[in-house]
A and B are shown apart, each in its own frame.
Chain A
């Protein structure tokens, strides 16, 4: 099981990422995670993040702010790989499909390494 840590935003780009991550999770063996509860100081969620296996964890962010990746770093987890999606100005089927393709390509590359 691969852990896919996504940013926790709701900008149009982040919503595209969320929708694409859901679609990818429908087909592949991966678990979608946000670091928000851990950043909020919830003990159980902090432990969950700290216990993530870095070799099975990747971060995908919707912008260069990289709050998914930075959130992981805050708990000492360096993911196997990270991806920043191009900026999507609006949520549309086309943009979600493009993001989905990029995430799938990224996961394929990560798994080949």
Chain B
């Protein structure tokens, strides 16, 4: 049975790092996961249970310590078995997840993306 991976709908710099990490993660793990956006679960929670994923072993991927993906699951009486937070892969200050009109992020680097992919992959095992 595939595992459900629920990724928060981050914004700003955190979203750009998540995008890169999710792309790499999906390439490596596409045979064993079904990936969902936390927003889609927030508006259509049935989608998760109808997908056939192992509901006892959900993994959430969060762009910040607010852990919106976990909160959205909790709003729908669900709980993640494991969770990842982007901050655990960062070694620098990154702005918060918020509405923005500025997308100039020169400090994003491959190493932090790789570290987060490793954290996500470990959460699957």
A-side interface residues toward B, CB under 8 Å? 1, 3, 7-11, 14-15, 18-19, 22, 25-26, 29-37, 39-42, 48, 65, 67-68, 70-71, 74, 91
A67 to B37, CA, bound (A): 9
Can you list 14 A-B pairs with a CB-CB distance of less than 8 A? Answer: A9-B9, A11-B37, A15-B19, A22-B103, A25-B101, A26-B103, A30-B101, A36-B9, A36-B38, A36-B72, A40-B38, A42-B66, A71-B39, A71-B42
Q: Choose from A11, A18, A25 the contact partner of B15 (Cβ within 8 Å).
A: A18
Contact A74/B43 with A22-B103, A40-B71 known, Cβ cut-off 8 Å: yes
> A15 contacts which chain B residues (CB < 8 A)?
19, 22-23
B75: nearest chain-A partner, CB-CB: A41
> A9 contacts which chain B residues (CB < 8 A)?
7, 9, 37, 39-40
Contact A41/B71 with A8-B37, A34-B11 known, Cβ cut-off 8 Å: yes
B83 to chain A, nearest CB (A): 13
A32: nearest chain-B partner, CB-CB: B100
B44, B66, B99, most chain A CB atoms within 10 A: B99
B39, B66, B101, B102, most chain A CB atoms within 10 A: B39
A54 to B11, CA, bound (A): 20
User: How many A-B residue pairs lie within 8 Å, measured between CB atoms?
Assistant: 118
B7, A34: Cβ atoms closer than 8 Å: no
A37, B68: Cβ atoms closer than 8 Å: yes
B92 to chain A, nearest CB (A): 20
A73 to chain B, nearest CB (A): 8
A22 to chain B, nearest CB (A): 4
> B101 contacts which chain A residues (CB < 8 A)?
1, 25, 29-32
